[in-house]
Amino acid sequence: MVFNTDEIQSFAKEFYNIDVLVTPLTGYDEDNFLLTSHSGKKYILKVSSGIRPSFLEAQVSISQHLSKSEISSFFQHHIANKHDQYITIYTDKNSQHTYCIRLLTYLEGTLWKDLNVWPDELYIDLGSFLGKLDAISKDIYLDAANRAYVWDISRAEEAIKNLHHIKDPAKRRLADYFLLQFETEVKPKIASLRHACIHNDANDSNILVKEGKVTGLIDFGDMVWAPLIHNLAIACTYVIMYSDEPVEASAIIVNSYHKEYSLMQEETDILYYLIAARLCISVTQSAAKADNGLFNVHHYQSEQSAWKLLEYWLTINPLKAAHTYRLACDPEPAIQPIDKQSQLKLTRRDIIGRNLSLSYHKPLTIIKGALQYLYDDLGNTYLDCVNNVSHVGHCHPVVVRAMQKQLATLNTNTRYLHEALTSYATELLATLPSNLKVCYFVNSGSEANDLAVRMSRHYTGRNDIIVLEHAYHGTSSLDIDMSPYKFDNTGGSGQKPFIHKAPVPDDYRGIYQGKDAGKQYAQEVLRILENLQEAGKAPAAFICETLLGVGGQMPLPDDYLQYVYRYVRQYGGVCIADEVQVGFGRTGHTFWGFQLQEAEPDIVVLGKPIGNGHPLAAVVVTEAIADAFNNGLEYFNTYGGNPVSMVTGLTVLNVIRDEALQENAVTTGAILLEGFKKLQDSYECIGDVRGKGLFIGVEFVKDRITKEPDAILADYIVESMKNQGILLSTDGPYHNVLKIKPPMVITEDNCMKIVETIESILK
Ligand code: PMP
């Protein structure tokens, strides 16, 4: 505070001719004082420096305008000084600094934030008061309010530049996600919304309540010319922090506002995003101020609650919010999905390949992804525990923005030099063992496996491939030939003579168990190699996943790959690690699955998470294999290695590192594994719980001793979990293994919820 209470007392006397006692109050960017006269009359005196006088004059104008309205008593009014001026300019003789002083009437009441209870009636009251206020504001234009102001939701995207002040990566991602949604869902509509001079800060420290009624709104210091709906959005943002049901509470306000002053559908439809955007402005402002060492309680008073509400907001399907707000105004619902879904199904059946499957007995129509959540067309939110492809989260803002920028810049092919190709390859190679030196970029895991095997054949001059039973490696003709999961099953054309199947190294229900299982299973591969040799042949390659996916979410037994790779190399074969499902930190303790086994492949195949859903995959090989492949035949891949894919891959790598997602896989994965193991103690039907990091399988059996698979129970659990808002699926040769491979941004709370929900179903 620039002036002490004695100075303020003398200002009051000198400028306003009143004798008062002075109590300093806090304020966001002005110094505020409570003045009390001898007769007990109270005033507020405001001292500002650095605020444009024209803007202060605009505040005087709005209060004069409102003083003529039926809601006059809700506002403070300006009191003129001895010279009949509402703004007193005071120049400090020593510093020559100029201050603007204003005297305002005092409003009795308790601030919203200081109440003990917030009954629905208060929300109703607030809505109708704001409706009345906006009905008046719509006719007011004040030039000084038409300004660039950080707290104007229209400018929410400017908060992006402050994101770096948020140190917790999970919080930064959350704010960034909602700012991206603002850009996507709101910004294009801003210009066409009704504008007015709005109060712009009906927050919990500015709303006054007396005897259970809203009685006042103070501080026009944030007034701005902006979409009218922002006023309501801002009030909702702050007051719903006090409700256990924020969407319902805001709908109460919307309803009573609409009764006073009609809202338009295009306004209520974006309210969800406006509330999120205002929260983002608030948390980024707090973070920036803290980073700059500023300490004013007002800068941080909403911070904790704002984060809590943002986290909760992510769990709300925006369609559900829009629907609730529409219903609060008009009975016409926003969600009319039934016909649309059956129509989609019919058209899909007619014109899309019939052997594409749909998940769940009643399929989902997913319309939007939000980090670890998915939203359907019915307004439901699902915690996604199955789409491992969205590795760093659905619509991760950093990835999306990088892709958008590169798409708007250039997308060509590898026939031109481009920095992104080599920088991405360099970064990728840095995560891999030093024997892996050369990258090939392709478009899918299938294409990558196909290429990997092709290269191993070039290198060895041989044809035969050793695979694991039940394995899946992709959808090209060669991949299907290498995938017993396909060729051994319905519609498959059986095992080709150049394919050799080794048993799944399953130490739960397989032929070997215990501490030597890894070596014993590896000796099964050795036997195949010996048999091949007897037949005068040798393998081109051995290929397996480094944790088995369709094989049943199974970590390999200790030392398995070390032995297998040693044997395969003894017979001149190439060792291919299919990391399509496993890689990029999912296993938590290591970045790559083969590192869990302390083994080094000759070729690694990468896919799925590599581009967070963008079609990108890679084959990384040794120098010698790359040389053998470079035999004069050009390798060209139209899309492989294009700038957009490369920027995407590079950004995904950066996000994994910057947000410590591998570490998150360790902590969240441990909660899941421990939780499931505890359930296993109580529920006989859980035969096995296994996994590493966020690659987890829970195997259901009818009998612990016989281990008879219980696919019906596994399926029942998947369906019931879906009904409770959690998406999972089953895997394994007997379809009895729950597959849990969530986006790596899943939280500890999410994991506890998963375990609790499964337990409630088992009960
Ligand atoms: N390898 C493994 C282990 C896989 O799980 C998959 C896909 N499920 C593939 C390869 C093929 O990848 P894509 O579907 O991208 O072609």
Ligand 1 neighbour 659 (Cβ under 6 A): no
Assess whether 569 and 629 both reside in one domain: yes
Asked if residues 662 and 692 have their Cβ atoms less than 8 Å apart, the reply is: no
Last residue of a domain, one of 642, 674, 699: 642
Spacing, Cα 475 to ligand 1 middle (Å): 8
Percent of the chain scoring above 90 in pLDDT: 94
Per-position DSSP letters for 227-254, written without gaps between them: ETHHHHHHHHHHHGGG-SSHHHHHHHHH
CATH of the domain at 94: 3.30.200.20
709 DSSP assignment: B
Asked if residues 622 and 602 have their Cβ atoms less than 8 Å apart, the reply is: yes
Q: What is the per-residue pLDDT across 664-675, written as a single tens digit (0 to 9) for each?
A: 999 999 999 999
CATH of the domain at 746: 3.90.1150.10
Give a three-class secondary structure readout of 146-193.
CCCCCCCHHHHHHHHHHHHHCCCHHHHHHHHHHHHHHHHHHHHHHCCC
Banded model confidence at residue 338, pLDDT cuts 50, 70, 90: low
Assess whether 550 and 675 both reside in one domain: no
Ligand 1 neighbour 543 (Cβ under 6 A): no
| Residue 180, pLDDT above cutoff 60 | yes
Asked if residues 353 and 368 have their Cβ atoms less than 8 Å apart, the reply is: no
pLDDT the model gives residue 229: 98
Mean pLDDT score of the chain: 96
Mean pLDDT of 732-743: 97
Spacing, Cα 516 to ligand 1 middle (Å): 30
Domain assignment of residue 406, yes or no: no
Rounded to the nearest 5 degrees, what angle is found at the Cα of 83, between the Cα atoms of 81 and 89?
65
Assess whether 302 and 360 both reside in one domain: no
Spacing, Cα 474 to ligand 1 middle (Å): 5
State how far the Cα of 371 lies from the Cα of 394, in Å rounded to an integer: 4
Q: Which residue's CA is minimally distant from atom 8 of ligand 1?
A: 474
Residues pairing with 438 in the sheet: 621
Strands 88-91 and 499-502: unpaired
Nearest atom in ligand 1 to 550's CA: 5
Best mutation site among 386, 443, 473 for ligand 1 pocket (most ligand atoms within 8 Å of CB): 473
Ligand 1 neighbour 613 (Cβ under 6 A): no
Ligand 1 neighbour 551 (Cβ under 6 A): no
Select from 97, 88, 108 the least CA-distant residue to 46.
88
Ligand 1 neighbour 105 (Cβ under 6 A): no
Q: Which residue has the tokens 């002075």?
A: 22
Spacing, Cα 230 to ligand 1 middle (Å): 46
Domain assignment of residue 523, yes or no: yes
Domain assignment of residue 244, yes or no: yes
Ligand 1 neighbour 609 (Cβ under 6 A): no
Ligand 1 neighbour 475 (Cβ under 6 A): yes
Q: Which residue's CA is minimally distant from atom 13 of ligand 1?
A: 445
Assess whether 625 and 541 both reside in one domain: yes
Spacing, Cα 473 to ligand 1 middle (Å): 5
Domain assignment of residue 493, yes or no: yes
pLDDT the model gives residue 339: 66
Assess whether 243 and 360 both reside in one domain: no
Ligand 1 neighbour 581 (Cβ under 6 A): yes
Banded model confidence at residue 51, pLDDT cuts 50, 70, 90: confident
What is the distance between the terminal CA atoms of the chain, rounded to a whole angstrom? 62
Mean pLDDT of 11-37: 93
Domain assignment of residue 323, yes or no: yes
pTM value?
Answer: 0.95
Mean pLDDT of 513-517: 95
Spacing, Cα 72 to ligand 1 middle (Å): 67
Question: How many domains are contained in the chain?
Answer: 4
Ligand 1 neighbour 578 (Cβ under 6 A): yes
Q: Which amino acid is at 525?
A: V
Spacing, Cα 315 to ligand 1 middle (Å): 30
Q: Which residue has the tokens 């399926």?
A: 715
Q: Which residue's CA is minimally distant from atom 5 of ligand 1?
A: 581
* Least confident window among 94-108, 333-347, 392-406, 604-618: 333-347
pLDDT the model gives residue 334: 55
pLDDT the model gives residue 617: 98
| Residue 332, pLDDT above cutoff 70 | no
- Residue 12, classified by CB atoms within 10 Å of its CB into exposed (0-12), middle (13-18) or buried (19+), is buried
Nearest atom in ligand 1 to 582's CA: 3
Q: Which amino acid is at 358?
A: L
Last residue of a domain, one of 75, 105, 135: 105
Return the structure tokens found at 321: 């919010």
Ligand 1 neighbour 48 (Cβ under 6 A): no
Assess whether 99 and 150 both reside in one domain: no
Assess whether 236 and 144 both reside in one domain: yes
Q: Which residue's CA is minimally distant from atom 7 of ligand 1?
A: 474
Q: Is 395 left (phi over 0), alpha (psi -120 to 50) or beta?
A: left
Q: What is the per-residue pLDDT across 626-640, written as a single tens digit (0 to 9) for each?
A: 999 999 999 999 999
Assess whether 190 and 304 both reside in one domain: yes
Mean pLDDT of 192-212: 96
Mean pLDDT of 251-258: 98
| Residue 314, pLDDT above cutoff 60 | yes
R_g (Cα) of the chain, nearest Å: 32
Asked if residues 165 and 291 have their Cβ atoms less than 8 Å apart, the reply is: yes
Last residue of a domain, one of 270, 297, 327: 327
State how far the Cα of 324 lies from the Cα of 329, in Å rounded to an integer: 9
Asked if residues 504 and 487 have their Cβ atoms less than 8 Å apart, the reply is: no
Ligand 1 neighbour 750 (Cβ under 6 A): no
Domain assignment of residue 74, yes or no: yes
- Residue 681, classified by CB atoms within 10 Å of its CB into exposed (0-12), middle (13-18) or buried (19+), is exposed
Give a three-class secondary structure readout of 271-307.
HHHHHHHHHHHHHHHHHHHHHCCCCCHHHHCCHHHHH
Select from 180, 609, 185 the least CA-distant residue to 400.
180
Assess whether 74 and 163 both reside in one domain: no
Ligand 1 neighbour 549 (Cβ under 6 A): yes
pLDDT the model gives residue 26: 81
Ligand 1 neighbour 580 (Cβ under 6 A): yes
CATH of the domain at 599: 3.40.640.10
Domain assignment of residue 428, yes or no: no
Domain assignment of residue 123, yes or no: yes
Ligand 1 neighbour 695 (Cβ under 6 A): no
Ligand 1 neighbour 377 (Cβ under 6 A): no
What residues make up the domain containing 635?
433-642
Q: What is the per-residue pLDDT across 4-22, written as a single tens digit (0 to 9) for each?
A: 999 999 999 999 999 999 9
| Residue 336, pLDDT above cutoff 70 | no
Q: Which residue's CA is minimally distant from atom 10 of ligand 1?
A: 473
Spacing, Cα 470 to ligand 1 middle (Å): 13
Helical axes 318-329 vs 246-260, angle rounded to 10°: 30
Select from 167, 170, 234 the least CA-distant residue to 198.
234
Best mutation site among 608, 610, 614, 739 for ligand 1 pocket (most ligand atoms within 8 Å of CB): 608
Nearest atom in ligand 1 to 615's CA: 15
Assess whether 348 and 387 both reside in one domain: yes
pLDDT the model gives residue 301: 76
Assess whether 614 and 526 both reside in one domain: yes
Assess whether 724 and 599 both reside in one domain: no
| Residue 296, pLDDT above cutoff 90 | no
pLDDT the model gives residue 474: 98
Q: Which residue's CA is minimally distant from atom 12 of ligand 1?
A: 445
